[in-house]
Structure formats: C-alpha cells, structure tokens
Amino acid sequence: MTFKTTPFDVVDFLDTPEDIQNYLSEAFASDDPKLIAIALGDVSRARGMSKVAKETGLSRESLYKSLSETGNPELATVLKVMQSMGLSLEPKPRGELGTP
C-alpha cells in the first residue's frame, strides 16, 4: 500500500480571526523575534500577501523577505502588518511592573 503525503502548511489552518489571534498570541508569547516574524508571514500568506502589501503600502517581495525565517523586519513593518490585520501591539505587564 502506498501513502500519499503532502507537506504541512499552517496557512491551511488559519481560517478564522480567532485562529489568527491565537496563533499570533502564541508566537508573541515565545519572545522569539524570528518566530514572531514567521508567524506574521504565515498570517499574511493566509490573508493574501498581495492584499496585505496593498494595505500596508509595502511590496509583496519585501514582505516575503522580511517575514521569513531569514528576515529581520523593522518595527514599522510589524506595526503596519498588524494594523492591516486589525490588530494592535500594546504592552501588557507580565507580572509586577518593573520586574522582568
């Protein structure tokens, strides 16, 4: 018996606003800048990179590059992408303010 497999792509599972919010929340909770950039790229691909590019005023190519495993997006790019998704980036205390 032969099994046919297909590569996993998280984009196939980012169908609802709740899925997207949960996925990005987990990425941001990791405190890993690379993981956050990748997650933003995944969500952008799920929404349509051309659409996100148009909404942010950035080129598709620069978004693909910035929001990849090797990318290093500027904060302005992150903010524009999140704004295009209807999300904001705001500080929340992790515990008592002033302690890491």
Neighbouring residues of 15: CB distance < 8 A, sequence distance ≥ 6? 46
pLDDT score, position 100: 64
pLDDT score, position 94: 77
Per-residue pLDDT tens for 32-83? 999 999 999 999 999 999 999 999 999 999 999 999 999 999 999 999 999 9
Residue at 47: amino acid letter = R
Prediction pTM value: 0.88
Per-residue pLDDT tens for 8-26? 999 999 999 999 999 999 9
Neighbouring residues of 65: CB distance < 8 A, sequence distance ≥ 6? 71
Residue 99 has pLDDT above 70, yes or no: no
Candidate CATH numbers 1.10.260, 1.10.3470, 3.40.1360, 3.30.70; the one for domain 15-84: 1.10.260
Cα separation, 39 vs 24, whole angstroms: 6
**Sequence ranges of the domains in the chain:** 15-84
φ/ψ (deg, to 5) at 88: -125, 160
pLDDT score, position 15: 93
Of the candidates 97, 33, 20, the one whose C-alpha atom is nearest the C-alpha of residue 66 is 33
Q: Label residue 1 by pLDDT band (50, 70, 90).
A: confident
Cα separation, 73 vs 66, whole angstroms: 5
CB 27, CB 73: distance < 8 Å: no
